[in-house]
Amino acid sequence: MSSSETVTKAVEVGDAERAGSVRLDRVTHQYGRGRETVTAVGPVDLTVPAGEFLVLVGASGCGKSTLLRLIAGFEQPTHGSVRISGAAPRPGQTAGVVFQSPRLFPWRTVRGNVDLALRYAGVERARWKERRAELLARVGLEGMEERRIWEISGGQQQRVAIARALAAENPLILLDEPFAALDALTRERLQEDVRQVTAQTGRTTVFVTHSADEAVFLGSRIVVLTKSPGTVALDLPITLPTGKVDADELRESAEFTELRTRVAHAVKSAAAA
């Protein structure tokens, strides 16, 4: 069965289990044992409906990456349960993941890196060329196929990482501070592109950041976490205009500025509480 067939099938099973929906019930995660035990997150209850763009914001060390790894299935919760589309997450299969550093194969070409993702995603070789072109166009890397990773900029490398995460046609994409290491201008461009890409593909997105500005620009909903062990301090729907809007106009609007201030305050007081 191809992954798109799997997606179609999952869509038929009802709202609570819609493809790409995320559900955390009383999730706690601890690292270590005995006296060395660190409770990193929880308890967290969180439901992300299919198609939502959720941004998790919180101070460094509050458990954002842990939460994302639990959703990806890279870690198992110590208590509680994680369900994706109604089932337990399967690491490497349930979600496309983008990390802060791109984690590409530097000696390979852009094409080689994307093809590897297509192979892991189980896409038939006959479809690679078409699918690769589509993915690279989507992240603004047309014509870069033969460049080696060490020959392209940090921003372009992160674009390859995003293309790779989109390669598997799963309905969930997870991003862990993907733009934190980039310069401000590149970061803004990538934010604009991610906003468009996710709107076009309709995938559920969970995006981690410590930037209130980034959260408000990207999210259709923002969840602010308390300091470690992170729990939900604020759950805020974002009602800024979506779709075709001028990014600069949006960033300069009164609504944007007001929301950014509100989220920044919430992050600060959640970190201090």
Ligand X SMILES: Nc1ncnc2c1ncn2[C@@H]1O[C@H](COP(=O)(O)OP(=O)(O)O)[C@@H](O)[C@H]1O
Among Mg ion, ligand X, none, what binds residue 215 when CB lies within 5 to 8 Å by partner kind? none
CA distances 22 to 19, 47, 146, 173, Å, are 9, 6, 37, 11
Residue 65 binds Mg ion (CB under 5 A): yes
Taking residue 31's Cβ as centre, other Cβ atoms within 10 Å add up to 12
Residue 206 binds ligand X (CB under 6 A): no
Binding window for Mg ion (CB under 5 A); candidates: 3-11, 59-67, 116-124, 212-220: 59-67
Binding window for ligand X (CB under 6 A); candidates: 32-40, 98-106, 148-156, 197-205: 32-40
* Greatest Cα-to-Cα distance within the chain, rounded to the nearest angstrom: 55
Among Mg ion, ligand X, none, what binds residue 62 when CB lies within 5 to 8 Å by partner kind? ligand X
Residue 209 binds Mg ion (CB under 5 A): no
Residue 28 binds ligand X (CB under 6 A): no
Residues 111 and 109: their CA atoms lie apart, in Å, by 5
CA distances 132 to 22, 41, 45, 106, 164, Å, are 28, 37, 37, 18, 9
In the bound complex, what is the minimum distance in angstroms from residue 29's beta carbon to ligand X? Answer: 8
Q: How far is CA 35 from the centre of its chain?
A: 33
Q: What type of residue sits at position 234?
A: L
Site string for ligand X, 46-65 (x = CB under 6 A): ------------x-xxxxxx
Opening angle at CA 98, ends 97 and 103, nearest 5: 110
Site string for ligand X, 228-247 (x = CB under 6 A): x-------------------
Among ligand X, Mg ion, none, what binds residue 211 when CB lies within 5 to 8 Å by partner kind? none
CA end-to-end span of the chain? 49
Among Mg ion, ligand X, none, what binds residue 228 when CB lies within 5 to 8 Å by partner kind? ligand X
Our CB check for Mg ion shows the closer of 115 and 176 to be: 176
Residue 228 binds Mg ion (CB under 5 A): no
Q: Using CB under 6 A, count the residues that bind ligand X.
A: 13
For the chain, the helix, strand and coil percentages under 3-state DSSP, each to the nearest 5: 40, 20, 35
Our CB check for ligand X shows the closer of 110 and 208 to be: 208
State the alpha helices, DSSP H only, in 74-167.
110-120, 128-138, 154-167
Q: Which residues are at the interface with Mg ion (CB under 5 A)?
A: 65
Binding site for ligand X (CB under 6 A): 31-32, 38, 40, 58, 60-66, 228
